[in-house]
Amino acid sequence: MVTGIVLGVLALLAVFIAVKVAGKPGEKKYEDSRADAIKELEDRRKEIEGPKSAEEVVQALHKAKFGHRVGRVLLKDMFTAWEAVPRKHSPQKSQLDHVRRAIKRFTSFCAEKYPLIHEMAGVDGLTAKAFMRAELAERKLAPKTYNLTLTTLRGAFESLRHEAGILNNPFKSVPRRAPDTIHHAPYTREDIDAILSAVATDEIARPLITLGLYTALRRGDCCTIRWEQVDLATGFICLPTGKTGEPVEIPIFPPLLAELKRAAPAKHGPIYPEIDALYRASQAGVPIDLSIRGMCCLRPGIPGLSDTITVRSIVGEFLEHSRIYAFGSRTSPDEARIFIGSADPMERNLDRRIEAITPIYDNHLKERLLSLLDETFKDDTNTWILGPDRRWRRLTATTNFNVQSFLKEEALSAARNSKER
């Protein structure tokens, strides 16, 4: 069988080799290029004729035609390979998370339903269609989400065609679903009254919701509006648009006007000054390091405003929920004020639930909590840094320290030691 393949390869090499014969018979250019072509063919013949497996012969044929050998990417390495593809712009955190989840679901599906498929090149259109059917049946996907998953996997296979040796993208044969058209009616007066009534006594949520309802601004933008942008005399808020930076004037409706007057108007600073306390501390030179789960209204690293503030988020195996607040010294338990809790420091948790944030007085416990914070801020494997432009960028690893792996191993080690005792 291999001998037959070798003969076939030799017959095709004359067509596939990259050297071309130029000029006309009898011309020096023709004779020189012909000699080069014959030499190239002879070199390839010697390369093929030796004892080789069928795979090696096919690799030689592929190299003769395309100039490179067939690539190979295992399904278990698919996300890592996709992440390593050179790009003009680095993917945002949300995109990376989405692609990671889609690839994980697909590779887990293949491992369960098609255990003999180990490489990307082994995935065919039938496998791709089976996965998308399973997605539709198990996750009850809306057409928009279905199409997003399909586009994500189609793009991942397309970007790795060369590296994985894929001839045909298996997800190209999977049809998209027609999207549902949903028309949302605007809020009625009754809807708005009901929303505002629900937060009437919430001094944190009510001002932000009122501002959002009457300006159509996003939640993060509502948190950062400053008094310099508000003109109560003319009844307008002047803000730069997010896309072009051009100023736009937003009228201040009576309910919003009443809320703004209640907020004690000032000439400078944020409308809602809770977040301004951190900015004032930064301007005074206080180092502030935050490790958060997701959304953050702070804008760290702005010269003259938040130079000493850093905001990071760790995206790894676990989703942290515990809170540790440390003030003062990070090295001396005696001088540190530390609080812990399982809840957000929001009115709904502090006033309407049993959850609470509690101070820690024992120095041994303080030392342990300070150590946990130090390990958290040492992580450079799964850490993303928030920039002053509100974009998340992955931290470049220098030590490859993974705090979640470290803490998991620490917990397992403690459990093993307790059993031995």
Among residues 173, 205, 220, which one ends one of the domains?
173
**Counts for the chain of helices (H) and strands (E), in that order:** 16, 10
More confident call, 6 vs 139: 139
Per-residue confidence (pLDDT) for residue 273, from 0 to 100: 66
Average pLDDT value for residue range 195-224: 80
CATH code: domain of residue 102: 1.10.150
Identify the top-confidence range among 56-60, 245-249, 260-264, 298-302: 298-302
pLDDT for res 10: 44
Which of 66, 89, 104 is where one domain is finished?
Answer: 66
* Same-domain pairing of 408 and 376: yes
Residues in the chain: 421
- Beta bridge pairs of residue 314: 383
| Euclidean distance between CA atoms 110 and 106, whole angstroms | 6
CATH (domain of 283): 3.30.870.10
- To the nearest 10 degrees (0 to 180), the angle between helices 2-16 and 54-66 is 0
Nearest CA to 272 out of 304, 230, 315, 319 is that of 230
Residue 342 structural domain = 275-420
Average pLDDT (204-228) is 79
Instruction: Using pLDDT thresholds of 50, 70 and 90, give the confidence band for residue 266.
Output: low
Same domain? 148 vs 264: no
Instruction: Identify whether residues 30 and 138 lie together within a single domain.
Output: no
Q: Judge whether 111 lies within some domain.
A: yes
pLDDT of residue 126: 94
Based on the fold, state whether residues 267 and 253 are members of the same structural domain: yes
Q: Which pLDDT belongs to residue 286? A: 92
Structure tokens at 393: 């960028």
Average pLDDT over residues 254-283: 79
308 and 381 fall within a common domain? yes
pLDDT exceeds 60 at position 71: yes
Are 325 and 334 spatial neighbours (Cβ–Cβ below 8 Å)?
no
Indicate if 281 and 406 belong to the same structural domain: yes
Domain-embedded: residue 178: no
| pLDDT at residue 19 is higher than 60 | no
Domain count, the chain: 4
Residue type at 279?
Answer: Y
Which segment of 45-59, 187-201, 242-256 scores lowest on mean pLDDT?
Answer: 45-59
Based on the domain organization, do 132 and 120 belong to the same domain?
Answer: yes
pLDDT given at position 338 = 92
Q: What is the CATH number of the domain that holds 231?
A: 1.10.443.10
Query: Are 403 and 279 in a shared domain?
Result: yes
Domain boundary among 249, 271, 293: 271
